[in-house]
């Protein structure tokens, strides 16, 4: 199960994600990001504080979103990273490019 | 693995969370497993099962994926078996370490490297008729040396 709620703050779209991001739910998040970029919302914040689990398929969605927004002159950042999620970002090298936004 | 739990699932992503829950619940029966190791196991099993489901994508059959797990005094062993076309794990795994900047050009390909980091032991046996991934996670050594 994946929950996604949106808020618009200045130029940023804040997406609060809850649940698990894996092969079953990742496509829904990917599609939402694609849709925002198509609509011209190029700056996206993902609040992952309520994400219970993310696997490499979920990380692939984040990487895809990051590349998609940046290729259009935007950006994708994350907030609410748990310690285990930070560790996973480190393991996969994501911490070098996917920054944690200060809010 | 003569005793333990066996799950047979359709090759559908919707079953991933069930597999994770069953395997981690089985491991949690041993209180020696710390939460972080349970999380490592959860992720490793998810990666193995995801790969198995992907391997069935073009199978066009009702062949199922089998997950077996067995708890012994010092470890949990998990086996994920698919019937998809085999692969050479060394060939598809991008070389180099996970934290190389170039890895970020890939949206996938993290699964097997992550399993290698998270599990204490991993064996991948792949042939034309399917692939079996065996994962072992040990309980921490006892501090009681008396």
Q: Testing the interface with B: which of A87, A92, A95 to mutate, by most B Cβ within 10 A?
A: A92
- Which pLDDT belongs to residue B60? 64
C-beta atoms of B111 and A56 within 8 A? yes
Q: Give per-residue pLDDT as tens, B50-106.
A: 999 999 987 766 789 999 999 999 999 999 999 988 877 666 655 455 555 565 666
Domain boundaries, chain A: 2-96
Report percent pLDDT > 90 for chain A. 74
d(CA A13, CA B133): 40
The ipTM, to two decimals, is 0.89
Superfamily of domain A2-96: STAS domain (3.30.750.24)
Q: Please tell me the CATH code under which domain B5-138 is placed.
A: 3.30.565.10
Torsional class of A27: left (φ above 0), alpha (ψ -120 to 50), beta (otherwise): alpha
Q: Give per-residue pLDDT as tens, A50-94.
A: 999 999 999 999 999 999 999 999 999 999 998 888 888 888 878
Mean pLDDT computed over B1-28: 91
Domain boundaries, chain B: 5-138
Q: Testing the interface with A: which of B16, B23, B52, B105 to mutate, by most A Cβ within 10 A?
A: B16
* Long-range pairs of B85-89 with CB within 8 A, sequence gap ≥ 24: B85/B55, B85/B58, B85/B128, B86/B126, B86/B127, B86/B128, B86/B129, B86/B130, B86/B131, B87/B55, B87/B126, B87/B131, B88/B126, B89/B124, B89/B126
> What pTM does this model have?
0.88
C-beta atoms of B17 and A97 within 8 A? no
């Amino acid at each position: 199960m994946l929950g996604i709620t949106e808020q618009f703050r200045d130029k940023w779209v804040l997406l609060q994600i809850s649940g698990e991001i894996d092969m079953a739910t990742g496509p829904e998040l990917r599609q939402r990001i694609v849709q925002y970029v198509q609509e011209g919302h190029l700056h996206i914040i993902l609040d992952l504080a309520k994400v219970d689990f993310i696997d490499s398929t979920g990380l692939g969605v984040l990487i895809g979103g990051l590349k998609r927004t940046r290729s259009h002159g935007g950006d994708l950042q994350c907030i609410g990273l748990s310690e285990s999620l930070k560790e996973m970002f480190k393991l996969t090298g994501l911490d070098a490019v996917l920054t944690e936004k200060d809010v | 693995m003569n005793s333990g739990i066996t799950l047979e699932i359709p090759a559908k992503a919707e079953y991933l969370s069930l597999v994770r829950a069953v395997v981690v619940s089985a491991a949690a029966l041993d209180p020696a497993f710390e939460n972080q190791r349970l999380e490592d196991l959860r992720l490793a099993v998810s990666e193995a099962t995801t790969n198995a489901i992907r391997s069935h994508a073009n199978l066009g059959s009702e062949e199922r994926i089998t997950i077996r797990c067995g708890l012994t005094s010092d470890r949990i062993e998990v086996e994920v078996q698919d019937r998809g076309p085999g692969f050479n794990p060394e060939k598809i795994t991008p070389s180099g370490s996970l934290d190389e900047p170039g890895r970020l050009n890939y949206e996938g390909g993290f699964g097997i490297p992550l399993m290698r980091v998270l599990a204490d032991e991993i064996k991948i046996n792949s042939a034309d008729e399917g692939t079996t991934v065996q994962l072992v996670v040990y309980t921490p050594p006892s501090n009681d040396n008396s």
